[in-house]
Each structure stands twice: as C-alpha cells, then as structure tokens.
Amino acid sequence: MSSFVIRSIGSALNATSLISSKYAAKKAISLFASPRKGRYNDEQKRIIDSAFYEEINYNNLDIATYRWVGKGKTVLLAHGWESNASRWEYILKDLRSQDYNIIALDAPAHGRSDSKQFNAILYSEFINVVANKFQPDVLIGHSVGGMSCVFYMHKYQLPSIKKMILLGAPAHFTGVFDRYKSMMGFNNKVSNGLDNIIIERFGQPVAYFSAANFTESIKVKGLIIHDKKDRIIPYEDAQLIANRYKNAELISTTGFGHGLKDISLTPQIIEFIND
C-alpha cells in the first residue's frame, strides 16, 4: 500500500471522526488488525508440505500446526506479522540436522489458521494451546511472534520451556501503536478512540502491554537478536528488552534487516539451544 493511499485512508477516518469518533476508531482498529498478506501461496505451500499437519482448536478457532518430527529437543516456532510458518525455511534444514522435534504454527488470521483479525494477545493464547500439546523446550519468535511469546510466558510459565529466542521483537505495544498512528496521520479523536478500544477489549491501557516489562518475570534463559538498522522495529527496543530481561543475552547484527534471515546466525542459535 503506497504512502499516498495510507494517508488518504487516514484523512478519510479523520474526517469521519468529526461525525463519530467511535466509528472512526473502530474502523482504524479493524484496519490495524487486518493482515493484507500471510496466507499461503503455492511456493510457500511446498515449504510446509514436508511437515505433519494438524489443527488444534481454541475458542472455536482452528490453529494450524506443522511438525517435523525429531528425537531431540522440541522447538516451537512463532512467525511475525503478515507471514506464516513457511518463513522458517531458511533455518529448517539446520534445525532438522540437529534432530530437533520442530513445531511451527500459523498466527491468527495468517496461513491456515482461523480468525478474521490478528492481535498479539490472541496469538499468545494460540501459542499456549500449542505449547500445552507439544511441551516445547525452546520458543523462537520473530517480530510480533516474539512479543506474543513473551506475553505467553509472562502469563503461563510452562515448566517444559527452558529457553526463549526473540528475533527482532518489539519491546512494547505502545511503540507499535504509535508508529501506526503516525503512519496513518490520525488526529487526536481517532488516536484517543484507539486507546479507549484497547481498554474496553483487554481491560488494560496500551502501555500495560510491554514485552520488556513482562520479561522481568521470566526466568528462562533468553537470546535476543536484533539488527541495528532494523527499519520496522527499532534497535532500541532490543536494548530495552535486554535491560529488563536479566537472564538474556543480546546479539546485535548490522545489515540483516528486520527479517534476520541470515544463515550466519544459525550456528549461534543452535549453540544457544544445545548449551
């Protein structure tokens, strides 16, 4: 979506807010929570065809899971926004070479999973259902998948999980929300309406949902990997998480971008898992 179209939508919702700020805010949150991509194309389907496919239910929503069976440690993979389980192709071969029991899931409204809209709290509940079934030793989450892993661990603290790896993860929902508001050019009526919707739906203000703060309660060993030139989630988010997550180390990269799909990182991830 071009910046012109984005700003045009923002201007239209700003105009609508003069008549009904609540209606404009509802449209704005719906737009925010609706991924424009993330369902499988033919090439991506071929990547997950080698996995054992299983659907697990949560509140009448089917969660798509993919399993590459191994006898080693169980590793659960959680992808990010507008993606799906196929994003792990770059690392799958190396993980399978370690004979890990690998589980990947599709987020709400992504891949083959149900739901018309996405949010990190719902994603954390999806992760909980999958983790309870497969009892992973290690969680790996990219971007908002990493944030959702933190939300999940903060709430549930599953005993089987000993390690967590966060790849390009946001430190707090406030930053994600503020960047969305700024990108769209929303006025105060729409912006304040968005904040009120979060309180109404989740019982807490936007600032409460801080992955960085939540890591203070997480005891498992952590690995944070973030690129200094990440243009999606600022590097400062990684520094904030590392500052709060006392049992974690930070690996900083340069030039790998937000995706962090570089095979040079794989040995470090495997070493962390095996240590």
* SS3 readout for the chain: CCHHHHHHHHHHHHHHHCCCHHHHHHHHHHHHCCCCCCCCCHHHHHHHCCCEEEEEEECCEEEEEEEECCCCCEEEEECCCCCCHHHHHHHHHHHHHCCCEEEEECCCCCCCCCCCCCCHHHHHHHHHHHHHHHCCCEEEEECHHHHHHHHHHHHHCCCCCCEEEEECCCCCHHHHHHHHHHHHCCCHHHHHHHHHHHHHHHCCCHHHCCHHHHHHHCCCEEEEEEECCCCCCCHHHHHHHHHHCCCEEEEEECCCCCCCCCHHHHHHHHHHHHC
**Cα separation values, 59 from 63, 132, 235, Å:** 10, 15, 36
| CATH code (residue 106) | 3.40.50.1820
Last residue of some domain: 190, 209, 228? 209
pLDDT classification of 4: cutoffs 50, 70, 90: confident
Decide if 182 contacts 126 (C-beta within 8 A): no
Q: What does residue 18 show for φ and ψ, rounded to 5 degrees?
A: -70, -25
Closest CA to 10 of 232, 189, 174: 189
138 inside domain: yes
Angle between helices 266-274 and 89-97 (to 10 degrees): 40
Kindly state whether residue 259 falls inside one of the protein's structural domains. Answer: yes
Quick: pLDDT tens for 115-172: 999 999 999 999 999 999 999 999 999 999 999 999 999 999 899 999 999 999 999 9
Query: Which tens digit of pLDDT belongs to each residue from 158-216?
Result: 999 999 999 999 999 999 999 999 999 999 999 999 999 999 999 999 999 999 999 99
Between CA 123 and CA 125 the distance in angstroms is 5
Q: Are residues 93 and 196 in the same domain?
A: no
Q: Is residue 8 a part of any domain in this protein?
A: yes
Residue 31 clears pLDDT 90, i.e. is over it: yes
pTM: 0.95
Instruction: Tell me, yes or no, whether 94 and 205 share the same domain.
Output: no
Q: Quote the tokens at residue 60.
A: 């009448």
pLDDT confidence of 275, banded at 50, 70, 90? very high
**% of the chain at pLDDT higher than 90:** 97
Strand pairing category for 61-68 and 52-58: antiparallel
Give mean pLDDT, residues 213-224: 97
Q: Are residues 58 and 130 in the same domain?
A: yes
226-238 tens-digit pLDDT: 999 999 999 999 9
Chosen domain end from 193, 209, 225: 209
Statement to judge: residues 194 and 257 lie in one domain: no
Q: Are 187 and 14 in contact (CB under 8 A)?
A: yes
Q: What is the domain extent for residue 83? A: 42-170+211-274
* pLDDT confidence band for 6 (50 / 70 / 90): confident
Based on the fold, state whether residues 162 and 57 are members of the same structural domain. Answer: yes
Residues 14, 150 within the same domain: no
User: Residues 189, 244: one domain?
Assistant: no
Distance CA 210, CA 241 (A): 9
The answer, yes or no, to whether residue 2 has pLDDT greater than 90, is no
Whether 164 maps to a domain, the answer reads: yes
pLDDT of residue 1: 59
- What integer best gives the mean pLDDT of the chain? 96
Q: Clarify whether residues 85 and 138 are in a common domain.
A: yes
Answer whether 105's CB lies under 8 Å from 127's CB.
yes
Point out the domain boundary residue: 209, 235, 263. 209
Question: In terms of domains, do 13 and 117 share one?
Answer: no
Within-domain flag for 248: yes
In a domain, 82, yes or no: yes
Q: In this structure, what token pair is assigned to residue 160?
A: 């089987």
Domain count of the fold of the chain: 2
Query: Are residues 222 and 187 both part of a single domain?
Result: no
Residues 91 and 227 grouped into a single domain? yes
Query: Does residue 37 lie in a domain region?
Result: no
60 and 165 share a domain?
yes
pLDDT in tens, 67-123: 999 999 999 999 999 999 999 999 999 999 999 999 999 999 999 999 999 999 999
Cα–Cα distances in angstroms (integers) from residue 206 to residues 34, 55, 145, in the given order: 18, 31, 18
Residue 253 lies in a domain: yes
Q: Is the pLDDT of residue 250 over 90?
A: yes
